[in-house]
């Protein structure tokens, strides 16, 4: 009983001492929790590229963090589990910047935003081999009718819908689980994410999530600066210069090799980085 009372007292004291931002409701992981004066760059948790579960936050997170430092921008990266939380901080609280992909903004919203590409992302279509032991052909629109397709929020889906596929939205790990359960027939995701998530959460399923030969469009991962933030436009220009220098001097390539080595996934990520020289 005494220990319980001591715990309650300590918790109450901590609540009084913490800044208001540290007591915010809802799930949130933030490196700025105890640095309320720092600007924040908000991002959706996106392993292995941007996540607290990977050393130095993942390759994209590390690239952005170093670019911010070189640009002398006092800002930290804050990750969230849901994209709508990131949009909230950008559009409702006028955060300095956000990071992500498959963004959807209205024409009016885009006028207040500055998009800076960080990396291209190569995606592939995946299916669950036990469900389709002879493979899954997605090259013809007629094969999509009646299929259940797992997509990310903001992803272009009109082609699949017109072809008769039923589109479901979710996070990559959720869609992989639904593939295994038979609730989805195929999904689209970066192969690096699929490999990392399977290894981390369902290692017994290695080799069962197979990529198809069908072409998936390349996506771009952006950092989006907010013109409504007092430092937004200046910060965007400084960041662009720092990022360009990192690509030119080999820093970005070194970060890619650190996280992915010389694997095919590493070469793919680096190849996409090269497009922004």
Summarize the confidence of residues 28-48 as an average pLDDT: 72
pLDDT of residue 268: 52
Asked if residue 272 has pLDDT above 60, the reply is: no
Of 211, 242, 262, the domain-final residue: 211
- Indicate whether 144 belongs to any domain: yes
Asked if residue 260 has pLDDT above 60, the reply is: yes
19 pLDDT band, cuts 50/70/90, is: very low
Asked if residue 1 has pLDDT above 50, the reply is: no
What CATH number is attached to the domain comprising 154?
Answer: 3.40.190.10
Q: How many domains does the chain have?
A: 2
CA atoms in the 13 A half-sphere facing the CB of 117:
13
- Indicate whether 9 belongs to any domain: no
Structure tokens at 151: 């997509």
Of 185, 211, 237, the domain-final residue: 211
Summarize the confidence of residues 162-173 as an average pLDDT: 93
Shared-domain flag, residues 98 and 230: yes
Q: Which residues pair with 210 in a beta bridge?
A: 127
Shared-domain flag, residues 66 and 202: no
Cα dist. 155→123, 168, 169, 218 in Å? 12, 11, 9, 11
Asked if residue 86 has pLDDT above 80, the reply is: yes
Asked if residue 234 has pLDDT above 90, the reply is: yes
Q: Of 202, 243, 221, whose CA–CA distance to 43 is shortest?
A: 221
The DSSP element (H or E) to which 85 belongs, if any, is helix 83-91
Confirm if 239 and 71 have CB atoms less than 8 A apart.
yes
Q: At what angle do helices 59-70 and 232-248 cross, to 10 degrees?
A: 110
**Among 10-19, 142-151, 216-225, the least confident range:** 10-19
Handedness of CA 246, 262, 212, 129 (dihedral sign): negative
Asked if residue 205 has pLDDT above 70, the reply is: yes
| pLDDT, the chain, mean | 84
**Among 18-22, 89-93, 224-228, 264-268, the least confident range:** 18-22
- Give 38's DSSP letter: S
What phi and psi, each to the nearest 5 degrees, are found at residue 46? -145, 75
Give the list of residues 6+ apart from residue 267 with CB closer than 8 angstroms, or none. 260
d(CA 81, CA 3): 34
Torsion of CA 267, 269, 270, 272, to 10 degrees: 120
Asked if residue 20 has pLDDT above 50, the reply is: no
Asked if residue 6 has pLDDT above 90, the reply is: no
Domain hosting 154: range is 124-211
Shared-domain flag, residues 187 and 250: no
165 pLDDT band, cuts 50/70/90, is: very high
- Indicate whether 158 belongs to any domain: yes
pLDDT of residue 158: 85
Asked if residue 21 has pLDDT above 70, the reply is: no
Cα dist. 105→87, 121, 138, 154 in Å? 9, 20, 29, 9
Q: What confidence tens digit (pLDDT) does each residue in 121-138 have?
A: 889 999 999 999 999 999
């Amino acid at each position: 009983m005494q220990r319980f009372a001591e715990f309650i007292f300590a918790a109450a004291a901590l609540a009084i001492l913490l800044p208001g931002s540290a007591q915010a409701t809802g799930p949130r992981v933030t490196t700025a929790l105890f640095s309320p004066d720092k600007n924040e760059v908000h991002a959706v948790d996106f392993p292995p590229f941007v996540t607290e579960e990977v050393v130095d936050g993942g390759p994209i997170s590390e690239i952005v963090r170093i670019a911010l430092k070189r640009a002398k921008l006092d800002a930290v990266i804050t990750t969230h589990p849901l994209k709508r939380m990131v949009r909230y901080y950008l559009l409702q609280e006028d955060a300095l910047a956000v990071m992500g992909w498959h963004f959807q903004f209205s024409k009016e919203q885009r006028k207040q935003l500055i998009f800076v590409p960080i990396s291209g992302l190569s995606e592939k279509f995946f299916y669950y081999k036990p469900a389709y032991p002879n493979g899954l052909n997605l090259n013809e629109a007629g094969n999509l009718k009646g299929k259940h397709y797992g997509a990310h929020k903001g992803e272009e889906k009109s082609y699949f819908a017109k072809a008769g596929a039923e589109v479901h939205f979710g996070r990559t790990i959720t869609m992989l689980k639904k593939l295994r359960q038979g609730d989805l027939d195929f999904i689209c995701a970066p192969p690096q994410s699929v490999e990392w998530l399977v290894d981390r959460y369902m290692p017994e399923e290695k080799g069962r999530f197979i990529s198809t030969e069908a072409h998936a469009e390349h996506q771009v991962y952006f950092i989006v600066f907010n013109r409504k933030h007092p430092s937004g436009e200046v910060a965007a220009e400084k960041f662009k210069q720092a990022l360009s220098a990192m690509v030119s001097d080999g820093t970005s390539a070194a970060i890619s090799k650190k996280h992915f080595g010389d694997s095919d996934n590493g070469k793919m990520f680096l190849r996409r980085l090269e497009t922004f020289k």
